[in-house]
Structure 1
């Protein structure tokens, strides 16, 4: 391998030697104020075709420097800044190094800060709260998708799981022409939208539609990406169809189609497979292979859209799904976004567990085997309609409906042993159930801007209505061994029915105190009601039916809660500083009535609620920010109800009606900086929470190792997280035929958790510490090779006050590498490799594995068709083993997982925009 890299570097040097190297520097200032213009865009273009050669961004002193290679002698130098006329000059690079001195930019006649007048489009444009990229300035391979383009943009990072961050901040959603695209999951857009139709990519703080309309600030800690479709491509269609078949009956089919016409967009997406894939992910190399686990991905491989989940590492899932999305704009400022999804899943799972349970005076062990088959059909529809009767008023309504039904079959075996290995008890269960759930929700809001800039009044009404039905047949045999052996059999029909209604109305008012300082008043009233019935019928040997009501295990109750939440706050916001503070009262009146056991109780909870946000923006575009708040957690009905739940005869639960509400106090501090000149960034994020009156378990374990759990309030639970990151461009050289790029990143995270509870009347405490350093690299010679290795370790420490001899300390090792080569114009060879080694795992399970996925693709038919040969788990080593530590246990699990298969697939793409087929464009977009 080292010889290969040496050869590549030698050829890179030879290619670059045949070109002209240059170095250009200067300073950019405002011609009127004489102040330096920070974050001006300076870029060089070829005279022949205006292709961008290189670019830079001015620093806090207004200085820029561009050092690069080109085969041209003359280049156009462009300098642009929002609200200024673009400066242009022809440069002869044979005079390099060139210091052009000070460039003075003149203001445009348009004073709107959203308008940029330029001779040519800048690769990057900074606006007040928006970062904008010109898609055509960043080259990708022909046929690339949006994800490949995002990887090219400075400051943006896409990890192996497809998760996007902008200077360390997560991207929550992607919009297309300002509208949602199949819900809020970004991967639908990044994996399916072709780069060839994209004009601009805008990065903004995440805002709701109401915040956009009223001019409120959004969530500065989370980002939204808006994709603007090229005007020439905004009339037409693009589609993609993939069919694949493989060994062991594995198959995959998927399709995606889009129709654009001005403001109208219709999208259809569908898929069917049995390889744990959502069926929507068109990875350029691996398509929808599914279950590709990488170091930087925290996902378990599942995929969710609007609340419907597909796939995952655990078990084997067969999924069928289809979705339709429609967005449009009509006269009189009417907008519509709508979507419908259907999903059908069947998942088979098997789990083996080895668990060591910690008591104050001893330990015991639990071994269990579980198998399940789950089937479900889901329907979800949503409509988002808004109208602006005039320029100051916006009315919106957003109804949603979600229907799911299916059945589950589970069987389990568990045994408990004392520390000497003697069997104390044994449990066998069989359970079959059918469920039917329906939820309808709606959100109606009216917003009115006031005369003062940034002032508004709004009224919002929300409702959620849920009905759930579950009918199960439960059979268990519990055996107790020892001096007093006994056997207990449960053969029951358990019927659970519940109906829940929630209605809320919120009024908000915001106005200006004086320049940049706003005050706000909010009042929210929430009414919640729930009726739940749990009827347990024992099997009657005489009638042969489940006809005997077991009142001890049954319950029927009603719950009604009224919440009053008044708040007041102030917010100061200028170009450099944002300070926002609010406070109010959260009063909850809870009334519960048990209809079977005739148990009634009332609870009132009063908590002072507060929140705040502080952010300071430095001249170098870095940001220091902090937020703090508290959140109230009302105990659940199951925690409050003094009713015994004995679905698992070895683990019995009983509620406590005297519980108080718990309050979690949260604090966060972060700093982020990105230098577009060097394409490098770094920062940190920290978080701390303290739990007051936390609802904790009070567990008693008897001599037969039967656990009975109730609940109480206890303060002192804590969580902390500290994360440092750095991303740096190490670009070495460029040449005429290939561009070489090297980037590196590092991350270090520390997580601390303190958990509390009671075991056999003794207070227990477990504390866990997790240290996770990782590094990643990306080496690329465009159109030739791409290598992305990443390495990380996770060091875990867990301490227990009950049994200090059981303190845990172990290290997990992860290595991943994605290697993609393009040996010939139409041939792509991809390798995705993951090696995992688990520390201190039970000897019953494998502790390490190497997962290697391979893809070989050939593109033909004018690059519209692709045939691929793929291998999942080439070495047949994939496992799903993990160690977890809890409040009073240490547990190892091993689950059924997708194993090796081989597959052929065929993909066909069809696109037509503005009467042109974009596949006939030049090789690079």
Structure 2
């Protein structure tokens, strides 16, 4: 494998150099009366193509791959008169060094104009801003390709974005949600060449943004700011493709922007694991939507999905005071998943091993609507209303073959189940804010009301065999669940000094939940259903939280802080089968938020928060759950809510002179009254009277305990070379969890340590190559306080090469090679896949708006998902099918037309995001 990787690296480097030698290198310098001029645009137009670059700190520019001897240069920048000149060179391909180009000051501008080079990164209090023009990407590439080049940001093979160690949960465009904030929807469909900057924000919510009082654990979001010259225009692309094994894909993206008015339409039909919308989900959502960029990676989404999606996004200004934006999305997905797993249940008297082979067919239909109205009543009053609704229907068919063993007993069997379910959810959020005439005095109030319902019908057929005795079980379980939730929050801020503010706040939260679970046993001969009251559950509970808080906020030139105290009384009341329970808790916790600015682009951030977590219905129910005969579950209606203390710290630094960046995070979480499980084998009296050691059946109980805590940390250090043509990144992280569970009534500590170390080397040569070599090593180890012979260590090496090479401005070679080496996994699921995907793309028509691409995915046909999950006394290794080898021929057309604004370049074109070497748009 190492030889293959080395050979491919040398090949692409050699090809890239060979292609460069067939063109002419043109260099020069831009000056004015005071010296070098950095950060202005230099546009070269020849018979073959047009290219735009930005001058360096010393006013230098370079075009490494100019074809032809005649070309025109246009130099323009803020505060300077536009320079235009035609050049005629000799027919040879010797490098050309142009005479210095001297710019004249624009007479309409002020006589004194300060011009500085592009600053790639700006670090503010809770925001890291990346200037798009500092990171070069190919014309027509999606935002996802730009994200891959940002220090501290990673994009996995399915499009999930992680920034500074935390997964991004939402995306906004010009400060407003785009398709309800779906991450892949924005990053894979918006073109990178319209982007001015990308902000990574720690978001504490709308109310915190208005008041400045930031408490709780923030969400990590992206805000994509569009260039001013690209806010009026139309752009989009369409793709169609077909391949072997009946693979097909059709995709349409259309956008019309006119400043505050934005209309977007997305649609796709495919069977290659590509989703247009992930509905806020995490990994495994599919992704790989944008073809115009990379798109050469093998999907790591589990299973094989047939997807039909359609979505519409809207934004407009209803007058001068009202802004409205929202979206509607529809998705129809058929997913087939095959998996093999080995679960080790640890007991002192003998572990239970569960081996499963499962085939699951899932058909899911989802409708989602989300809308926002922001009303700036006047300079003092602001109102926001957010209604939302979604509806999901599911049909799931599951077939499972299992074998459970413990000591000398082996139980085998099959399960076939069919589930039909639907779940409508909806609600509305309202926020009002009033600023008083006295500076700093503020009042805000917010409220929300929501509902969720779910109904499901399960038909389940179980057959188990132990010591040649076959026991059939056929049951029907009908479930109707509903939940209503109301939240209200009020905040008043009073300035008590020049830079100090006092805030008083109150929060009320009420949740009502009804769960009806009716269990029927069917006669194996006649099929007649019989209602079993002892196995059914009718349960209702209310969870109420009152929070009384007081905060002091200080704002200083070098730092700012928020320190507070919150009293949180909670109550949990429930009733089931004429049994009532009531639990009350009281927590007095402090809150803290502190930011210190050492210097520009050099900050430290500290945050502490405390939260209550209510038990789930399955944990509270009194009636035992026999739906899985091999694991009987007993709820505990006397459970207390969990209370978690969370501390997070961030240290970020960027050095403008060297370009080095460092992003670090450290978090600590401690949970009181942690809800854990107590598991133990049970007696199978029919098969082995009086012998519990030979039973493969276990039972699970829930209880509260203390002692659970976890620590997580990560870092990313990036160093660029040669004006960001080469970039080295070293990143790593570790997490430690002190998990508590009970095994056969005895308290057990499961100390889980996961750590990883990685390195990446990136090469960005304009119009030649864009490649990255990476290596990562991770270890997952678990130690138990109760003696066990189970291997709790798993290790993984991941080596990768991902990139593109460009030839003659028309041809692109893309490649992605990943070698995964696993150690310590069970032999049932062990796999060391070598994944190689590649494509060749030919671009044609004016401005290369059309392309024809031939792609080969997973050439070695080894795409397989391997995971390890550690929970309580269980270690689960799983191997899951993924989309394997196939070939696809596709055609894509990309169109965009923008109306330039003031202060842009010649004919209103403006500066191209990504700077040097990027071709101009259509």
SS of the residue aligned with 1:183?
Answer: helix
**Aligned mates of 1:575, 1:165 — CA distance in 2:** 31
* Change in 2 beyond 3 A, CA 1:631/1:815: same
* Change in 2 beyond 3 A, CA 1:120/1:267: farther
| CA contact 2:346–2:788 (8 Å) conserved in 1 | no
**Aligned mates of 1:205, 1:416 — CA distance in 2:** 46
SS of the residue aligned with 1:189?
Answer: helix
**Aligned mates of 1:232, 1:556 — CA distance in 2:** 60
| CA contact 2:492–2:505 (8 Å) conserved in 1 | yes
Q: CA deviation at 1:53?
A: 4.5
| CA contact 2:472–2:524 (8 Å) conserved in 1 | no
What does residue 743 of structure 1 align with? Answer: 727
What does residue 561 of structure 1 align with? Answer: 543
**Aligned mates of 2:143, 2:524 — CA distance in 1:** 64
What does residue 268 of structure 2 align with? Answer: 271
Q: CA deviation at 1:617?
A: 0.7
| CA contact 1:205–1:219 (8 Å) conserved in 2 | no
Q: 1:498 aligns with which of 465, 473, 481?
A: 481
| CA contact 2:298–2:857 (8 Å) conserved in 1 | no
How well do the aligned residues superpose, as a CA RMSD in angstroms? Answer: 3.9
Deviations along 1:662-689, whole A, 9 cap, x unmatched?
A: 2222222231111122111124221222
What does residue 704 of structure 2 align with? Answer: 713
1:767 correspondence with 2:751: yes
Q: 1:589 aligns with which of 567, 571, 583?
A: 571
Deviations along 1:246-284, whole A, 9 cap, x unmatched?
A: 111111111111112232111100111111111474435
Q: CA deviation at 1:410?
A: 1.0
User: 5 Å matches for 1:491-530?
Assistant: 491-530=474-513
1:399 correspondence with 2:393: no
Q: Which moved more, 1:621-630 or 1:706-715?
A: 621-630
**Aligned mates of 2:462, 2:165 — CA distance in 1:** 50
| CA contact 2:180–2:326 (8 Å) conserved in 1 | no
SS of the residue aligned with 2:627?
Answer: strand
* Change in 2 beyond 3 A, CA 1:634/1:262: closer
| CA contact 1:415–1:423 (8 Å) conserved in 2 | no
User: 5 Å matches for 1:860-899?
Assistant: 860-862=844-846, 863-899=848-884
**Aligned mates of 1:692, 1:200 — CA distance in 2:** 42
| CA contact 1:167–1:682 (8 Å) conserved in 2 | no
* Change in 2 beyond 3 A, CA 1:534/1:8: closer
Unaligned runs of 5+ in 1: 28-40, 57-65, 97-107, 110-116, 294-312, 733-739
Q: 1:816 aligns with which of 800, 806, 813?
A: 800
1:923 correspondence with 2:900: no
Q: Which moved more, 1:135-144 or 1:748-757?
A: 135-144
Q: 2:373 aligns with which of 366, 374, 385?
A: 385
User: 5 Å matches for 1:817-856?
Assistant: 817-856=801-840
**Aligned mates of 1:818, 1:884 — CA distance in 2:** 28
* Change in 2 beyond 3 A, CA 1:559/1:525: same
* Change in 2 beyond 3 A, CA 1:138/1:411: closer
**Aligned mates of 2:791, 2:393 — CA distance in 1:** 44
**Aligned mates of 2:763, 2:136 — CA distance in 1:** 16
| CA contact 2:503–2:551 (8 Å) conserved in 1 | yes
| CA contact 1:167–1:681 (8 Å) conserved in 2 | no
| CA contact 2:274–2:289 (8 Å) conserved in 1 | no
**Aligned mates of 1:42, 1:457 — CA distance in 2:** 49
1:697 correspondence with 2:685: no
**Aligned mates of 1:15, 1:321 — CA distance in 2:** 44
**Aligned mates of 1:448, 1:920 — CA distance in 2:** 40
Q: CA deviation at 1:139?
A: 5.1
**Aligned mates of 1:48, 1:825 — CA distance in 2:** 16
| CA contact 1:270–1:323 (8 Å) conserved in 2 | yes
1:123 correspondence with 2:118: yes
| CA contact 1:155–1:680 (8 Å) conserved in 2 | no
What does residue 371 of structure 1 align with? Answer: 359
Q: CA deviation at 1:165?
A: 6.5
SS of the residue aligned with 2:863?
Answer: coil
1:675 correspondence with 2:663: no
What does residue 687 of structure 2 align with? Answer: none
* Change in 2 beyond 3 A, CA 1:343/1:222: closer
Q: 1:912 aligns with which of 897, 905, 919?
A: 897
* Change in 2 beyond 3 A, CA 1:166/1:593: closer
Q: CA deviation at 1:769?
A: 1.6
| Greater RCO structure (CA 8 Å; 6+ sep) | 2
| CA contact 1:146–1:190 (8 Å) conserved in 2 | yes
What does residue 424 of structure 1 align with? Answer: 410
Q: 2:38 aligns with which of 36, 40, 43?
A: 43
* Change in 2 beyond 3 A, CA 1:785/1:496: same
User: 5 Å matches for 1:17-96?
Assistant: 43-45=38-40, 53-55=54-56
Deviations along 1:857-915, whole A, 9 cap, x unmatched?
A: 11112212111101110112222233444432333322122111111111112223339
| CA contact 1:352–1:893 (8 Å) conserved in 2 | yes
SS of the residue aligned with 2:833?
Answer: strand
| CA contact 1:154–1:676 (8 Å) conserved in 2 | no
* Change in 2 beyond 3 A, CA 1:160/1:436: closer
| CA contact 1:182–1:188 (8 Å) conserved in 2 | yes
SS of the residue aligned with 1:647?
Answer: coil
**Aligned mates of 2:364, 2:144 — CA distance in 1:** 31
User: 5 Å matches for 1:646-685?
Assistant: 646-685=626-665
SS of the residue aligned with 2:186?
Answer: helix
| CA contact 1:285–1:830 (8 Å) conserved in 2 | no
Q: Which moved more, 1:618-627 or 1:857-866?
A: 618-627
**Aligned mates of 1:647, 1:200 — CA distance in 2:** 53
What does residue 283 of structure 1 align with? Answer: 290
Q: Which moved more, 1:2-11 or 1:319-328?
A: 2-11
Q: CA deviation at 1:51?
A: 7.2
1:446 correspondence with 2:432: yes
* Change in 2 beyond 3 A, CA 1:118/1:371: farther
**Aligned mates of 2:645, 2:123 — CA distance in 1:** 35
**Aligned mates of 1:650, 1:291 — CA distance in 2:** 37
1:249 correspondence with 2:246: yes
What does residue 103 of structure 2 align with? Answer: none
What does residue 414 of structure 1 align with? Answer: 402
What does residue 292 of structure 1 align with? Answer: 299
Q: CA deviation at 1:773?
A: 0.7
Q: Which moved more, 1:159-168 or 1:237-246?
A: 159-168
**Aligned mates of 1:402, 1:7 — CA distance in 2:** 51
* Change in 2 beyond 3 A, CA 1:589/1:694: same
**Aligned mates of 2:681, 2:485 — CA distance in 1:** 38
Q: Which moved more, 1:857-866 or 1:279-288?
A: 279-288
What does residue 741 of structure 2 align with? Answer: 757
Q: Which moved more, 1:815-824 or 1:282-291?
A: 282-291
What does residue 60 of structure 1 align with? Answer: none
1:344 correspondence with 2:332: yes
Q: 2:790 aligns with which of 793, 803, 806?
A: 806
* Change in 2 beyond 3 A, CA 1:810/1:128: closer
**Aligned pairs, number:** 839
Q: CA deviation at 1:411?
A: 1.7
| CA contact 1:635–1:659 (8 Å) conserved in 2 | yes
Q: TM-score, normalised by structure 1?
A: 0.82
Q: CA deviation at 1:629?
A: 2.2
Q: 2:885 aligns with which of 900, 905, 908?
A: 900
What does residue 320 of structure 1 align with? Answer: 308
Q: 1:479 aligns with which of 465, 468, 472?
A: 465
**Aligned mates of 1:434, 1:220 — CA distance in 2:** 36
**Aligned mates of 1:69, 1:569 — CA distance in 2:** 53
* Change in 2 beyond 3 A, CA 1:71/1:520: same
* Change in 2 beyond 3 A, CA 1:889/1:207: closer
What does residue 345 of structure 2 align with? Answer: 357
Unaligned runs of 5+ in 2: 1-6, 45-50, 65-72, 83-96, 101-108, 278-287, 683-691, 901-906, 913-917
Deviations along 1:357-380, whole A, 9 cap, x unmatched?
A: 321132232211111111111100
Q: CA deviation at 1:236?
A: 2.9
